[in-house]
Structure formats: C-alpha cells, structure tokens
Structure 1
Amino acid sequence: MSASALLHLLQFASPALPIGAYSYSQGLEAALESGMVRDAASARAWIARHLHEVMAQWEAPVCWRLMQAYARRDAHAVAVWTERFVASRDSAEFRAETIQMGYSLAQLIAQLEIADADLLALLRQTPEVPLPAAYACAVAALDLPHEAALQAMLFAWAENQVLVCVKSVPLGQVAGQRMLLSLRPELEAAAQHAQTVADDDMGNWAPGLSLLSMRHEAQYSRLYRS
C-alpha cells in the first residue's frame, strides 16, 4: 500500500471522523446493564462473539460487496446490497444508527470533494444511505485497497466496542489496549471469512442482540444511542 493510501485509510477509519461512531454501543450498553458483560473476560467474549457471529457473517461481507460494486460503478449491485443492509436492521436503534452515520459520512464525502459525479450519483440513488455504503464509496473515491479497507473497518468497530468497555465496565486504559491487541487474530480471521463467504451463507441472525437493542430503547439510564 502506498503511503498516501495508508494515510487516507487511517483518516477514514479513525474514531475522530465526525460521523458520531463514539455515541453508539451496538447493544453493548444493554448487555452491561443486564450483567452479561461485567469484567474484562466477559467483555472480550462479548466482542469476539459479536465479531464472528454478526460482523463477519453479515456487516463485513456486505461492506466487501459494496466496495466491489462501487469500484465497478455497478449501480444495480450498489442498490441491492444497500437495500438489503438497511432491511437487515431489526431494531429502531440499529436502523437509526447506520442511517445517521451513513448520512454524516456521505455529507463529509461531498464536502471534502473526494468523489467524482458518478460515485456521488451511486451513493445518492437510494433514499437511505447506511454506513457500509458510504464507507465503500469513500474507499472507491480514494482508490484504497479493499482488503486493507475491510480490515480497517473491522478494527474501527472493535476499537469502539473496547472504548465502550473502558468507559462503562469500567476497564483501565491498559486493559483496553491489551484486549484490543488480543483481538488481532480474530479480526484477521473475520476479514478473511467476509471475503470468501457465499451470498447464501450470509446472515445476521442474532436474536439475543436484537432483544438487547430493543430493551435499550427503553432503558432508563444510558450513555449511548444504541
């Protein structure tokens, strides 16, 4: 990877990107409230299971297909996978999360003027833009290597989950970094799986996570929006 591509990737996978990722826990806060996550061991187990059963099985494979579709300027494939991803959000919070962050990233792409007119037209062809579609558009606009971009997406997700645990379990900063370091081989395996899983084997079947998300919508005291 060239130095410029690496720097672009670091920027667009950074928690500092102004799309609000820090304000979501993706069900983790509800797991903390219920006592399912209570210490470093249970936090790591939660993140790893979410990674392999949801991220590697659905979110990352959809992102991988969207990156390829944007690279080919394939309007049909972009529309199909964008609509499928939005339809897969099975709670109001999960749907609002991806639409809000997708909208924010799409606006940022336009304001930074990194995408050509064709890419912007592909991005705007559906009424709702989820985060994976906007991210895939940025990857195409900056001509980033797809494998590295997928790994960066998964790392950014894991980093945000660990930060939730650092603030809310709570864990120490060193414990959080130790956990993130220990997840490296699992992140690599998830990225590899996402690139090879067949369409018919994809899925986001995680009823427990869905129920926690719905419970979180009515949770009395909360710091995160999901």
Structure 2
Amino acid sequence: MDSDADFLLLHLSDSALPTGAFAHSFGFETYMDAERITRAEHFQDWLKVLLKVQLTSADALAMRLLYAEPTLQELKRLDARLHAGTPAREVREANTRMGTRMAEIVAETYGTPMVAQYLGLINQRELSGHPALAFALATHSIGIDVDRAIHAHLTATVSSLTQNAVRGIPLGQMAGQRVMFAMREPIAAAVTRSAILEEIDLCSGDPGIDISQMIHATQRARLFMS
C-alpha cells in the first residue's frame, strides 16, 4: 500500500475538510419543503438518482476525461463544460465555492503545480472552479488510479450530503449511517458506469433534479445555500 496515496485520499475525503460542502443540499431541500423527503428512505432514493445521473455524468466522467488527458488545455475545457452544463445557478455557485476551497487546500498542503495554476485561473476569474477537477488533479499527481480516485470523491460527496440530511430533514445519526452503508453498491456501480460513458454524456442530467435545484433559489425558508 502507498501510504502517501492513502493519506491524500483520506485527507481530501474527510467530511471535516473545510470546502463548504456542509452548506449545500444540491436540491434535496426543495423536496423537503414539498414534504417529498421526510425520512431516510426518501432521502436515500433521491441520493441514488443524484449519484446515478448527475454525479456520474458530471463529476465522475469529468475526472476520467481529465485523467485521460491531464493538460492545462483539457482542464480549461472541462471546467467550462461543467459550468455551462449545470443548469441551476445556485449549484454552479456551489461548485465554484467548493472547487476554489479544494484547490486552495491542495495547493497549500501538497503544492501540486497544476492545482496552483488552476487556483490562479479561478482567482483571476478565467475559470469557474469545480471540486471534482481539483480532486482529480491532486490524485493524478500522486499516481492514484482513476477508479480509486472517483470512488473516493463520490463517497466523500455522498457522505457530505448524508450529513446535511441528518441535520436538515432531520435524520437520526444511525439512520444516516444506514444510508451510507446502503450507498456502497450504488457508488461502486457509478464508478463502473462512468467508464462506459462518452464525451457526449458529460453533464447529462435528470430534469426533475435540475428543476428542483432551480426552484430552491426562490424557496422562502431554507437551511442550505443550494
């Protein structure tokens, strides 16, 4: 086992990593407001759809494409595609915030040159920023396999959303742990599915989830920023 690779994955996948993920529901709060998510089973069903469609076709596929061509030109292209392919303004802003923080953390702690370049371009507003791309740059730089990197990123995202559901719905802590355990197979399936997707599939979404994320912007009372 590569201790440096293991440490980086555990570090960047830590739910305590200060990327601001705790402030975002990515649309499940809209379903809460409509009383369509009121318990763990409802949230788990929503999370499976988000993972299978949006997170696989955007985050996972973008990471895989960047691994295939880890150049600055490809990074810029994928950053632009991810931003343009996210219909909901709040989710675009969430990705920018979290992507910037992830890049700052990686650049500061690991000194990864391309992440530092990425952060500079984000700060100059030439690029938007996305956490999946910053994560992929960090894991690729240390030689972590793409499937392992995608699995870690998706697991971290699912974990963050589950903790937000524990606070927001609210769910009990043990209910949240049961959701996490139930998501292990869908996460593995998402990694496998991302390998058979093609460029044309990048950012192919689910209309219901996209619309719920847009509606959240006009929700009168809310706990989350997206």
1:123 shift after superposition: 5.4
After TM superposition, list the pairs within 5 Å mapping 1:1-226 onto structure 2: 1-70=1-70, 74-116=71-113, 120-121=116-117, 124-125=120-121, 126-226=126-226
User: How far apart are the structure 2 equivalents of 1:119 and 1:167?
Assistant: 32
Equivalent pair of 2:40/2:175 in contact (CA under 8 Å): yes
Read off the aligned partner of 1:31 and give its amino acid letter: Y
**Is the contact between residue 102 and residue 135 of structure 2 (CA under 8 Å) also seen in structure 1?**
yes
Give the Cα–Cα distance (whole angstroms) in 1 for the partners of residues 22 and 68 of structure 2.
27
TM-align CA RMSD: 1.8
Query: How far did 1:37 drift?
Result: 1.0
Q: Is the 8 A contact 2:95 2:130 kept in 1?
A: yes
CA deviations on 1:36-62 (whole Å, 9 max, x unpaired) are 211121111111111112112232111
Distance (Å, rounded) in 1 between the aligned partners of 2:214 and 2:178: 31
Q: Which runs of 5+ in 1 are unaligned?
A: none
- The answer to whether the Cα contact below 8 Å between 1:63 and 1:132 also exists between their aligned partners in 2 is yes
Matches of 1:123 and 1:141, distance apart in 2: 15
Q: Which amino acid letter does the alignment assign opposite residue 73 of structure 2?
A: H
Tell me how far 1:92 sits from its aligned partner.
1.4
Distance in 1 (CA, whole Å) between partners of 2:85 and 2:137 is 20
Relative to the length of structure 1, the TM-score reads: 0.90
How much does 1:204 deviate? 2.6
Shift of 1:122: 5.3
In the aligned structure 1, how far is the partner of 2:130 from the partner of 2:25? 17
% identity of equivalent residues: 24
**Contact (CA 8 Å) 1:114, 1:142: kept in 2 or not?**
no
For residues 116 and 69 of structure 2, what CA distance do their matches in structure 1 show? 13
Contact 1:30–1:212 (Cα < 8 Å) also in 2: yes
Moved over 6 A (4+): none
1:69 and 1:75 in contact (8 A); partners too: no
Aligned length: 222
Checking the alignment, whether the CA contact within 8 Å between 1:66 and 1:132 is kept in structure 2 is: no
Equivalent residues of 2:24, 2:225 under 8 A apart:
yes
Q: Distance in 1 between matches of 2:157 and 2:12?
A: 12
Q: Distance in 1 between matches of 2:12 and 2:157?
A: 12
Q: Deviations over 1:46-83 (max 9, x none)?
A: 1111111211223211122123333xxx2222221111
Q: Cα distance, 1:124 vs. partner?
A: 4.0
Q: Kindly tell me: are residues 128 and 53 of structure 1, through their superposed partners in 2, closer, same or farther at Cα, counting changes over 3 Å? A: closer
**TM superposition score normalised by structure 2:** 0.90
In structure 2, the CA distance between the partners of 1:103 and 1:202, relative to structure 1 (3 Å rule), is: closer
Displacement after TM superposition at 1:143 (Å): 3.0
SS where residue 195 of structure 2 aligns?
Answer: helix
